[in-house]
Chain A
Amino acid sequence: MRSSYLLYNKIIAAPLAAIIIYCGIYPLLGNWTVQCQVEKATRHACIGCGLTRGIHQALLFHFDKALEWNPSSLLILSFFLIALIMRFGINILLSKTEDIKRVRTLLYSDVIFSVLMFLFCFRHFFTADILR
């Protein structure tokens, strides 16, 4: 269980970091950016539109512009950053822990905290109307 958990943390850290890097460098990608499926279908902006641009502005410390692009951008960025830091932190703790009970406690607390953090940061997406 411990080795699987360590491997899972290492693998999931890569896409989490990739999402943050993508938001950071997306102006350099030109046409290789993610298109909104809702906007494609309806020609109307959805509640997720402007998230990449918002996170990009937040990474440049322009927080007011980030909130203008998408009100959830700061929360979503903090979710990805905290989740990424947690992967490394938990792997450091796991490498020092041999006791199976502690590993289990760490796993359960990680799952509970991650789910609660996810629900808090993404709450706007499942409560608001899909179109702006």
Chain B
Amino acid sequence: MENTTQNSTPTSGGWKVMGIIALVLGSLSIILSFVPCVGILAFYSGIVAAILSIIALVMANSAKASKSMAIIALVVSIASVGVGWWQAHRLANAIKDGATQFGHTMDSAIKADTAKH
């Protein structure tokens, strides 16, 4: 009886702590992912949070405990990965637009120069 209690306590505590760490990391990632300066970095922390929440989900499943926290952590971390990806996409588009604009400027400068000569 004593052994059962001793064995079950670390397992039940383990999924809870893992779930909370995943949720905290996921929450921070989703907050920071919207800031363009660090949004791309939040993509990676979101992936770490998603892995931790999957581990928490598996642990909660094996401990037959409530999986709600692990699921919330997983949803939040996937959302932060999505927002981080969106920031990277926005940046890529901005670079592409900048390059196109630079190309147009160069074209018109070359045309003006050719017309002069």
Which chain B residues (30-71) contact chain A, with CB distance < 8 Å?
Answer: 31, 34-41, 66, 69
Contact of B36 among A4, A11, A15, A125 (CB under 8 A): A125
- Bound complex: CA of A118 vs CA of B27, how far in Å? 11
- Bound complex: CA of A2 vs CA of B61, how far in Å? 20
- Bound complex: CA of A121 vs CA of B99, how far in Å? 32
Contact with B along A23-47 (1 / 0, CB 8 A): 0000000000010111101101011
Q: Please tell me which stretch of B2-10, B88-96, B104-112 contacts chain A, meaning at least 4 of its Cβ atoms lie within 8 angstroms of it.
A: B88-96
| Number of residues from B at the complex interface, CB < 8 A | 25
How far, in Å, is A115 (CB) from chain B's closest CB? Answer: 10
Given A4-B19, A4-B69, A15-B28, are A47 and B36 neighbors across the interface (CB < 8 Å)?
yes
A37 touches B31 (CB 8 A): no
Query: Of all chain B residues, which has the CB nearest A76?
Result: B35
Residue A12, interface by CB 8 Å: yes
Which chain A residues (73-119) contact chain B, with CB distance < 8 Å?
Answer: 118
- Bound complex: CA of A42 vs CA of B87, how far in Å? 14
Contact with B along A117-132 (1 / 0, CB 8 A): 0100010011001110
- Bound complex: CA of A8 vs CA of B94, how far in Å? 37
Residue B20, interface by CB 8 Å: yes
Chain B residues, Cβ within 8 Å of A8: 20, 23-24
B94 touches A125 (CB 8 A): no
- Bound complex: CA of A88 vs CA of B62, how far in Å? 33
How far, in Å, is B86 (CB) from chain A's closest CB? Answer: 9
- Bound complex: CA of A48 vs CA of B87, how far in Å? 12
Residue A20, interface by CB 8 Å: no
- Bound complex: CA of A51 vs CA of B37, how far in Å? 9
4 nearest A-B residue pairs (beta carbon): A48-B37, A36-B37, A48-B36, A46-B36
**12 A-B pairs, CB-CB below 8 angstroms?**
A37-B37, A37-B91, A38-B37, A41-B95, A42-B95, A48-B35, A48-B37, A48-B39, A125-B35, A129-B94, A130-B94, A131-B94
